[in-house]
């Protein structure tokens, strides 16, 4: 496993400033958010963006295009085709995206055709939010499609992180390392009805549930990125430093002997 950061975390900064802050904070690998380099922009050269990152000693490991939930199939296919090409030009073969069930076979066919990996994210308000729903969708896919586990979305729904890891670890390509405050069931229902998808951010700590989660992932052989993705916008430098230390401690933990042992962590 390696630690990194999704540049969505620094979404309030322009791309050069975002790269510079991540470098100063000690990150060396990133998941590039499409808001910092859109695959829909005319005239934006992905290789130039990758070179900008490299000048800040940052390697682009994944490309995050957000949510395509609710789009028609033809629009999903067009967006994915363009995003997959953009990612390859960035120098990565991994694209993270949220889709509904109808978009999954489109992503599978496109990923195989274009030689990339597509990692489906469990946004809390989507059809594939819960681990077993996402696992069922992946069961019908080729190895070109896997999961992006977002720990914050799972926490928001009240899911157990260790149990989720046991369900999804074998098909996981990527992890969004996120800590949020778990709302009440009533607050979550109101948020869904009002279509307010934001989550209240929190900082990682000893009670964040991530130790057992990462232990299960490691025991299952996960060797991808723990990509920090913070929802807050205040004191970004401090939050990034806190997350980076926590991610480094998780990656540095000793490997458990078995998944059963990890689940008891």
pLDDT at 30 exceeding the cut of 60: yes
pLDDT at 209 exceeding the cut of 90: yes
What CA–CA distance (Å, rounded) separates 48 from 134? 35
Sign of CA dihedral 97, 87, 229, 258: positive
For residue 193, the model assigns a pLDDT of: 84
The number of CA neighbours under 13 Å toward the Cβ of 29 is 16
Averaged pLDDT score across all residues of the chain: 93
Residue 219: pLDDT band by 50, 70, 90 thresholds? very high
For residue 263, the model assigns a pLDDT of: 37
Tokens describing residue 150: 């977002």
Q: In order of start, what are the domains of the chain with their CATH numbers? A: 2-263 (3.20.20.150)
Phi, psi of 145 (to 5 degrees): -120, 135
Calculate mean pLDDT across residues 93-97: 98
What CA–CA distance (Å, rounded) separates 26 from 4? 9
For residue 194, the model assigns a pLDDT of: 85
CA distances from 146 to 168, 197, 222 (A): 9, 23, 12
pLDDT at 129 exceeding the cut of 50: yes
**Least confident residue range of 37-46, 106-115, 194-203, 234-243:** 194-203
Render pLDDT for 165-206 as a digit per residue (tens, 0 to 9): 999 999 999 999 999 998 888 988 888 888 888 889 999 998
Percentage of the chain beyond pLDDT 70 is: 95
Render pLDDT for 221-238 as a digit per residue (tens, 0 to 9): 999 999 999 999 889 999
């Amino acid at each position: 496993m390696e630690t990194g950061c999704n540049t969505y975390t620094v979404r309030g900064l322009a791309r050069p400033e975002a790269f510079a802050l991540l470098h100063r904070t000690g990150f060396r690998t990133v998941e590039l958010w499409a808001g910092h380099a859109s695959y829909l922009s005319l005239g934006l050269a992905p290789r130039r963006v990758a070179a900008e990152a490299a000048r800040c000693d940052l390697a682009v490991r994944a490309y995050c295009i957000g949510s395509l939930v609710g789009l028609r199939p033809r629009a999903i296919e067009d967006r994915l085709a363009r995003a997959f090409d953009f990612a390859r030009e960035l120098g990565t073969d991994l694209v993270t995206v949220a889709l509904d069930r109808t978009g999954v076979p489109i992503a599978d066919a496109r990923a195989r055709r274009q030689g990339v990996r597509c990692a489906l994210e469990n946004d809390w308000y989507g059809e594939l939010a819960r681990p077993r729903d996402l696992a069922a969708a992946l069961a019908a896919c080729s190895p070109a499609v896997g999961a992006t586990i977002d720990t914050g979305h799972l926490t928001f729904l009240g899911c157990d992180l260790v149990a989720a890891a046991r369900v999804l670890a074998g098909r996981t390509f990527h992890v969004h390392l996120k800590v949020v405050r778990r709302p009440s069931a009533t607050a979550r229902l109101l948020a869904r009805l009002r279509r307010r998808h934001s989550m209240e951010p929190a900082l990682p700590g000893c009670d964040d549930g991530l130790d057992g989660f990462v232990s299960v992932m490691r025991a299952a052989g996960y060797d991808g990125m723990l990509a920090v993705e913070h929802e807050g916008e205040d004191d970004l430098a401090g939050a990034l430093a806190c997350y980076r230390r926590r991610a480094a401690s998780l990656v540095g933990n000793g490997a458990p002997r078995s998944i059963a042992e990890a689940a008891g962590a």
